[in-house]
Amino acid sequence: MTDYQRVAQAITFLEANFQEQPSLEEIAAQVHLSPFHFQRLFTSFAGVSPKKFLQYLSLNFAKNLLANPRLPLTEVAYYTGLSGSSRLHDLFIHIEAMTPGEYRQGGIDLTIKYHFADSLLGKVLLASTDKGLCSVEFVQGNEKEALIEIQQKWQNARWIEIATEFHHQALEHLWPGASSAGKLRLHLKGTPFQIKVWEALLRIPESEVRTYGDIANEIQQPAAMRAVGTAIGNNPTAFLIPCHRVIRKNGDLGGYHWGLNRKKLLLGLETIEKEVVDISE
């Protein structure tokens, strides 16, 4: 059996038995490896540990159960295979940074202000709470579809179409000279791992690039390059968290959620700005 087949078999086992919350030893036994060697093998292929993968499976199952408002949290925990509602609470706090109750409410009592605006790189949809920007996306299709897509993340929030100072500040960061536009406040919704990746992206200087491996090393998880790529793809604030500055190891630009042409233009704008600054100095 190859290493790939062992990992695939382990994933199949986890998907079928996650409600039993199997231990690392039990999972490793399924592919005839010691827990130590299995942990290293699984993490190198999947980008996350077996325990973390099990948590994601449990979380997704619990989310589906929480869609039923009549189902008590104790029963959600029971059907998910957790020992009690406190473990369900810990699971959501650790991965979603919110309680099960807050997830079920989906942003109730939260007001989000949104605004469509034209930019150098096309139409942009900006959304913010009182705490800061929560979403900045280039509009790929029509405005209605773009709005529906971001509303799915905050289903019970109250949405108001109005421009805010946060929106104006975000747009300033797309123009040459954006480095002097001032700091932005972000109100992000992500897992602890995603937040770590996004923070690493913010530390990449303008006009410079990093590889997925560089980011994985910076967050001290060198085997998690695939998970890093997923976190980068889930960046909720387009150019503000500069996922366009990440390329493949061979120098190719790789993918970009809002199109490779925009990625090239963003990198080009930053290079031009740096050259202008160098000349003026």
Interval 173-226: pLDDT, tens: 876 555 545 578 888 777 778 888 999 999 998 889 999 999 999 988 888 888
Mark whether 134 is an active-site residue. Answer: no
- Rounded to whole angstroms, the Cα distance separating 148 from 142 reads 10
Instruction: Give the per-residue pLDDT at 107.
Output: 60
Q: Give the containing element (helix H, strand E) for 133.
A: strand 133-138
Secondary structure (3-state) at 158: strand
Q: Which amino acid is at 31?
A: V
- Rounded to whole angstroms, the Cα distance separating 199 from 94 reads 17
**Helix ranges restricted to H, 72-206:** 73-80, 85-96, 100-105, 143-151, 165-172, 192-202
Identify the bridge partners of residue 128 per DSSP, sorted by sequence position: 113, 133
- Number of other residues whose CB lies within 10 A of the CB of residue 141: 8
Both tokens of residue 123? 């139409």
Active-site residue, from 10, 243, 266, 269 = 243
Interval 92-148: pLDDT, tens: 777 666 678 767 766 666 789 999 999 888 899 999 988 889 899 999 888 999 999
| Count of positions (residues) in the chain | 281
Averaged pLDDT of the chain: 85
Q: Give the containing element (helix H, strand E) for 135.
A: strand 133-138
Beta strands at 133-138 and 122-128: parallel, antiparallel or unpaired: antiparallel
- Rounded to whole angstroms, the Cα distance separating 112 from 128 reads 6
CA distances from 8 to 1, 31, 123 (A): 11, 10, 42
pTM for the complete prediction? 0.63
Residue 137: phi, psi to the nearest 5? -135, 140
Interval 43-68: pLDDT, tens: 887 777 899 899 989 988 998 898 88
Is the Cα torsion angle 64, 68, 69, 75 positive or negative in sign? negative
Residue 276 pLDDT > 70: no
Interval 68-83: pLDDT, tens: 888 999 999 999 999 8
Identify the bridge partners of residue 116 per DSSP, sorted by sequence position: 125
